[in-house]
Amino acid sequence: MSTPVRIGVLGCADIAVRRMLPAFTASPDVEVAAVASRDLSRAEEVAGRFGCRAVQGYAELLDADDVQAVYVPLPAALHAPWVEAALNAGKHVLAEKPLTTDPESTERLLDLAAKQGVALMENVMFVHHPRHEAVRRLVAEGRIGELRSFHAAFTIPPLPDGDIRYDPELGGGALADVGLYPLRAALHFLGPALEIVGARLTRGAGRRVETSGAALLGTPGGVTAHITFGMEHAYLSRYELWGSEGRITVDRAFTPPADFVPVIGLHGRTTEELRLEPADQVAATVAAFVAAVRAGSAPAGDTLRQALLLDDVRRRSA
């Protein structure tokens, strides 16, 4: 039996406390070794909740010999320097999405991880939910005929004014925070040859970052994708695949709770609802990271292609 992966957490962000630390502690394959914060009292508060030690400062945690891997939930603009420092310290890394704010940095860090012989994984959780593999099988089986187009939307209500996602210096903006989801879903289903055809980003009144956007993408074979995203909207998390003989619909697509009963809508001459067993995509992501740590590497192709597509959306909307 393999020993648990000893993981340290760089920062006490909401997603770390609310989602990832509970998932780490629930996994028999992970042991949370430490939580670091610039504020020792904050680190002590979080560490006390999850039964690990508190560390003041991120560099101090990276120096710890008993930490094999680190989770980086810092603001996006801080990902590149701290992921690089972790990799240079010989640690495996699970980094919040986006891995970095530009494709050049993403490629450099993926190359560094390969050179160091450690796993570097971006924390895009929805791709680990089994519902999306079930959708892939339906398409491959020809249940909607030939695939013609993909449509996806992810929008969330307005955030508090002081939220870091409204701060351009910290890597904020709707594209990297919520637009990443439908774009990654398009990549997931249509493959790496997907390219941006056109894009538009919109900045809400009084905001310093884009708060909504849309993009049109296409494959060399003529399949199109239309994605919409925003963070000052009514909530929507959905995608559809349209084929020559029917379509597939998926609601609550990107952030379903663990007890949610997944449903796949199959629409053709008749409408059918395929109900799956609930699945915890956070736990599945932790399991995938553990597997990557034990293998000494993580798949990198979609992470880099996603970074290039996000960059192209921004350039084409300028």
| 186 phi, psi to nearest 5 deg | -60, -45
Please tell me the distance from the alpha carbon of residue 225 to that of residue 266, in angstroms, as a whole number. Answer: 19
Structure tokens at 127: 């791709």
- Name the strands in the sheet holding 120-123, side by side, starting at the edge strand that comes first in the sequence: 53-56, 30-37, 5-10, 69-72, 92-96, 120-123
Please tell me the distance from the alpha carbon of residue 129 to that of residue 85, in angstroms, as a whole number. Answer: 30
For 253-283, b/e burial (b = at least 16 CB within 10 A) is bbbbeeebebebebbeeeeeeeeeeebbbbb
In this structure, how many other beta carbons lie within 10 angstroms of the beta carbon of residue 101?
Answer: 22
Sorted by sequence, the CB contacts under 8 Å of residue 92 that are 6+ apart come out as 5, 68, 69, 70, 118, 119, 120, 289, 292, 293
Strand-pairing partners, residue 266, are 248, 272
**CB 89, CB 246: distance < 8 Å:** no
- Give which of 94, 106, 137 is closest to 311, Cα–Cα: 106
Residue 109, H or E segment: helix 103-116
Catalytic residues: 97
